[in-house]
Chain A
Amino acid sequence: MKLNALWLVLACSCLASCKMTAGNIDFGALSKVGSSLTQLGSIDEPQELALGDDFAAMLLGASKLHPNKALQSYVNNVGRYLASYSDRPDLPWTFGVLDTPDLNAFAIPGGYVFVTSGLLANLNSEAELAVVLAHEIAHVTERHQLAQLERDNSMNFLSSLATTVVSYQEQRKPGSGLNNYRNRQIADSVLNAGQQLFTKGLSRDDELAADTLAVRLAARAGYDPYALAAVMQKLDSMQGNSSAISLLLATHPAPADRLTNIEQQLQKLEKQHPDTRSVRLDLPERYQAALRRK
């Protein structure tokens, strides 16, 4: 049976964008799903954006946005500028400062990036903020969260989750004849997936890869990439010292481990681009001013 269905899909994809239906099955649509599987992992970009909206809303349910709007704009400017030089410059990049003393940063599929006010209070320069944001941007451009959800769950989990999310969005629209019970079930499956992501974290390889890309993205944008090493040394010195970083440490490789990789990446960058060192900026004054502005 399964084999037959596969042949049908293959046959249909040979016919390019033909619109063929048999019973209730739209084979043209099936072949489209097939092509988005190869392009984007297992869901397409609109589905990724819808999923991102729900995960972001969920995280905002755990921690509210910081009330300082000038600070929110500042972080969005730094982040949007960096993202313009990433592999996915055209996503609707959105950055948020969460109002919590804990130190952390989060990336969400579709282009949402969060940093906590506790982390901001412990950074010294715009370059340090930039490398933190660049690390999270890399998780989004590399679709690390989507891959992790796929790894941690059953086959086709992502595509069925994405379908669920889109239907959940439909139900949230005003006047959609909301079925509360069904709505709650849908919300639960999305919430569970979000909880998995935010409390279990990503693989060690993905975290190190995000550091590697962060170094290069920051340098490309004109920021001092050594800021990532400085932030990591700071985290290393805090290790085990405070409950404010326990979730960050539980969901990431040890800072010392990350520092080894960051050192290698910086050495490689210096070797490849030895003459551009002097023009990379840290901008501590602009950063301190942004923290103080009301």
Chain B
Amino acid sequence: MQVHFLAWLLLLSPVALADTNATVKQATPLLAQPVADAAELARLAAEQPVAVLERQGGWYQVAVPEQATGWLRLFQLQFVKERYQPDNVPLRELTGLMRGSHQQVTSSTGVRGLDKVAITNAKPDFEQLVLLQSFQQPAEQAQTFAKAANLKTDSSIKVQERKK
């Protein structure tokens, strides 16, 4: 049964939230707010299982079983291995799911994986290259796109710290 991850989150999120999916790396305080000087709600021991609710910058909001819900530093947390299954359904099927049929999600006919064999056997496809180039966006359009979401650049941040 292949169910798309996003759909899975959408449909089963209350269950997913109650489930622990991560552990605390080392003893760390659980804070009331995602800021360093917030009130400490509890002290979590290393290996403590938690359920991740959301991320805000360098902080995760977690639910601790039998304890409070609070915030801890992003790097204090490790997701449980083997629990997170990468999706094996191409995105094309996602729209099918959103239209309401679960059955459409499972088929992925004609779409292959992109592994070493596929790359080694590849012949250049110049028609696809022309199609790809038609998707290019002008720089001005991209600026409008960024403004629409209120993205604000910070020119004081240099991408290269030292110039070669």
Give me the interface of A with B, judged by CB distance under 8 Å: 53-54, 56-69, 71-73, 76-78, 80-81, 84-87, 89, 92-104, 112, 116-118, 120-122, 126, 172, 187, 190-191, 194-195, 198-199, 213, 216-217, 219-224, 226, 229-230, 233-234, 236-247, 250, 259, 263, 266, 269-270, 272-273, 276-277, 279-283, 286, 288, 291-292, 294
Beta-carbon contact of A291 and B132 below 8 Å = no
Q: When the two chains form the complex, which single residue of A100, A237, A270 contacts B111, counting CB atoms closer than 8 Å?
A: A100
CB distance from B99 to the nearest CB of A (A): 9
Beta-carbon contact of B120 and A117 below 8 Å = no
CB distance from A212 to the nearest CB of B (A): 9
The residue in chain A whose Cβ has the minimal distance to the Cβ of B95 is A294
The residue in chain B whose Cβ has the minimal distance to the Cβ of A137 is B159
Scan residues 94-113 of chain B and give those whose CB is less than 8 A from a CB of chain A: 94-95, 98, 108, 111-113
Q: Give the one of B4, B57, B94, B152 with max A CB within 10 A.
A: B57
Beta-carbon contact of B113 and A243 below 8 Å = yes
Beta-carbon contact of B124 and A54 below 8 Å = yes
Q: How far is the CA of A111 from the CA of B151 in the complex (A)?
A: 23
Beta-carbon contact of A101 and B87 below 8 Å = yes
Is B89 an interface position by the 8 A CB rule? yes
Q: How far is the CA of A38 from the CA of B63 in the complex (A)?
A: 56
Beta-carbon contact of B151 and A222 below 8 Å = yes
Q: Is the interface of B mostly helix, strand, loop or mixed?
A: loop
The residue in chain A whose Cβ has the minimal distance to the Cβ of B164 is A142
Beta-carbon contact of B136 and A229 below 8 Å = no
Scan residues 126-164 of chain B and give those whose CB is less than 8 A from a CB of chain A: 126, 128-129, 131-133, 135-139, 141-143, 145-146, 149-161
Is B37 an interface position by the 8 A CB rule? no
Which 9 residue pairs of A and B lie closest in terms of their CB atoms, listed nearest first? A237-B79, A62-B122, A80-B142, A117-B91, A57-B124, A60-B128, A61-B122, A222-B151, A81-B142
Is B86 an interface position by the 8 A CB rule? yes
CB distance from B150 to the nearest CB of A (A): 7
Q: How far is the CA of A171 from the CA of B29 in the complex (A)?
A: 66
- 18 A-B pairs (CB sep. < 8 Å): A53-B129, A65-B128, A68-B92, A77-B145, A87-B160, A99-B91, A100-B114, A101-B87, A118-B86, A122-B86, A216-B160, A241-B81, A241-B82, A241-B85, A244-B86, A244-B87, A250-B116, A282-B55
Q: When the two chains form the complex, which single residue of B74, B86, B118, B155 contacts A238, counting CB atoms closer than 8 Å?
A: B86
Q: How far is the CA of A191 from the CA of B125 in the complex (A)?
A: 12
Count of interface residues, chain B, beta-carbon cutoff 8 Å: 71
Chain A residues near B46: list those with CB within 8 A: none
Q: How far is the CA of A97 from the CA of B146 in the complex (A)?
A: 20
Is B43 an interface position by the 8 A CB rule? no
Q: How far is the CA of A194 from the CA of B123 in the complex (A)?
A: 11
CB distance from B16 to the nearest CB of A (A): 13
Beta-carbon contact of B114 and A62 below 8 Å = yes
CB distance from A141 to the nearest CB of B (A): 8
Q: When the two chains form the complex, which single residue of B75, B88, B133, B153 contacts A244, counting CB atoms closer than 8 Å?
A: B88
Chain A residues near B126: list those with CB within 8 A: 57, 172
Chain A residues near B156: list those with CB within 8 A: 273, 276
Beta-carbon contact of B87 and A121 below 8 Å = yes
Beta-carbon contact of B135 and A72 below 8 Å = yes
Beta-carbon contact of A94 and B132 below 8 Å = yes
Q: When the two chains form the complex, which single residue of A102, A126, A191 contacts B113, counting CB atoms closer than 8 Å?
A: A102
Q: When the two chains form the complex, which single residue of B6, B77, B86, B161 contacts A103, counting CB atoms closer than 8 Å?
A: B86
Known contacts A65-B132, A101-B87, A121-B94: A224-B57 contact under CB 8 Å: yes
Q: How far is the CA of A187 from the CA of B137 in the complex (A)?
A: 29
Known contacts A118-B90, A229-B75, A244-B113: A281-B84 contact under CB 8 Å: no
Beta-carbon contact of A223 and B151 below 8 Å = yes
Q: How far is the CA of A238 from the CA of B138 in the complex (A)?
A: 36
Additional pairs, 7, CB under 8 Å, beyond known A95-B135, A230-B74: A57-B125, A60-B125, A92-B136, A112-B132, A118-B87, A222-B151, A282-B55
Is B14 an interface position by the 8 A CB rule? no
The residue in chain B whose Cβ has the minimal distance to the Cβ of A244 is B86
Beta-carbon contact of A241 and B145 below 8 Å = no
CB distance from A131 to the nearest CB of B (A): 13
CB distance from A6 to the nearest CB of B (A): 26
